[in-house]
Amino acid sequence: MNGKTILLVEDEKKVQDFNKRLLAREGFAVQTAMTLADARGILEQQEIDAMILDIGMPDGNGLDFLRELRQTSGIPVLMLTGYGETSDVLKGFDSGCDDYLTKPYKFTELLARLKRLLYRVEQVPETVTRGRLTLKPAPMIALLDGEDILLTQKEFSLLMLFAQNESKTMSAGYIYEQVWGREMMGDDRALQQRISSLREKIEESGYVIAAVRGEGYRFVLNS
């Protein structure tokens, strides 16, 4: 993990200084932002490997910032915030975060979660090609014959999961956990809606997302 650049977006100076010092001790290069505007500027100028993001920032809401970021970037994001209700955590994952940790916290846990995110990113190839489809994970872009098919973050994550498990049947619960980061809890309407939208967008690719009764879904080349 040495040499990876982490962006700390945190307006509590003591928390920021503490995390910066200990992350640097672990071999990370650390950039800091006290406002969302500062974070935007850093992201425009530098290549960042992962971001640790607070929700309550002086110039806006971190979740709104994250939703904006997810339109163009798949950078791993760990929310670090005092908002710890279940509804807050769900909003975090729905906004596109990869992990969620509430304050107060132990630095050892923060470090372990950060390293896990970076490891997962390292396992993802730069591009995945399936027939006429090309998926680029870093900017979260899917191309059909070279043209952007304009997927949302959730749609891209779904397509990436299907592409990496071509011809395998995956249960709805498993798919939901992989894409939403939590258990489905019995209601699969959100998953059905995303899959329906994704089917329309990849219709011309030759691939279909087939429903397998009682088992789940399978991504296959239409014969």
User: Model confidence at 154, in pLDDT bands (50, 70, 90)?
Assistant: confident
pLDDT at 201 over 80: yes
- For residue 3, give both structure tokens: 């040499």
Higher pLDDT among residues 201 and 121, named by residue:
201
Distances from the Cα of 173 to the Cα of 158, 164, 187, angstroms: 13, 17, 9
User: What mean pLDDT is predicted for residues 86-113?
Assistant: 90
* Nearest-10 Cα torsion for 154, 160, 163, 167: -50
pTM reported for the whole predicted model? 0.66
pLDDT at 124 over 70: no
Domain ranges across the chain: 5-122, 128-221
Instruction: Report the length, in residues, of the chain.
Output: 223
pLDDT score, position 175: 92
Residue pLDDT, tens place only, 2-16: 679 999 999 999 999
User: Model confidence at 190, in pLDDT bands (50, 70, 90)?
Assistant: confident
Q: Note whether 188 and 216 are within 8 A (CB).
A: no
pLDDT at 123 over 70: no
* The 3-state secondary structure of the chain, one letter per residue: CCCCEEEEECCCHHHHHHHHHHHHHCCCEEEEECCHHHHHHHHHHCCCCEEEECCEECCEEHHHHHHHHCCCCCCCEEEEECCCCHHHHHHHHHHCCCEEEECCCCHHHHHHHHHHHHHHHHCCCCCEEECCEEEECCCCEEEECCEECCCCHHHHHHHHHHHHCCCCEECHHHHHHHHHCCCCCCCCHHHHHHHHHHHHHCHHHCEEEEEECCCEEEEEECC
pLDDT at 202 over 90: yes
User: Model confidence at 128, in pLDDT bands (50, 70, 90)?
Assistant: confident
Residue pLDDT, tens place only, 22-63: 999 999 999 999 999 999 999 999 989 999 999 999 999 999
How many angstroms separate the CA atoms of 125 and 20, rounded? 29
CATH number of the domain at 128-221, out of 3.30.70.2860, 1.10.287.3510, 3.30.1330.10, 1.10.10.10? 1.10.10.10
How many angstroms separate the CA atoms of 1 and 70, rounded? 24
pLDDT score, position 98: 87
Domains 5-122 and 128-221 belong to one CATH topology: no
* Range 5-122: architecture per CATH: 3-Layer(aba) Sandwich (3.40)
b/e string for 167-188 if b means 16 or more Cβ within 10 A?
eeebebeebbeebbbeebeeeb
User: Model confidence at 222, in pLDDT bands (50, 70, 90)?
Assistant: confident
User: What mean pLDDT is predicted for residues 171-184?
Assistant: 85
How many angstroms separate the CA atoms of 38 and 48, rounded? 14
pLDDT score, position 179: 85
Q: Note whether 175 and 158 are within 8 A (CB).
A: yes
User: What mean pLDDT is predicted for residues 145-156?
Assistant: 89
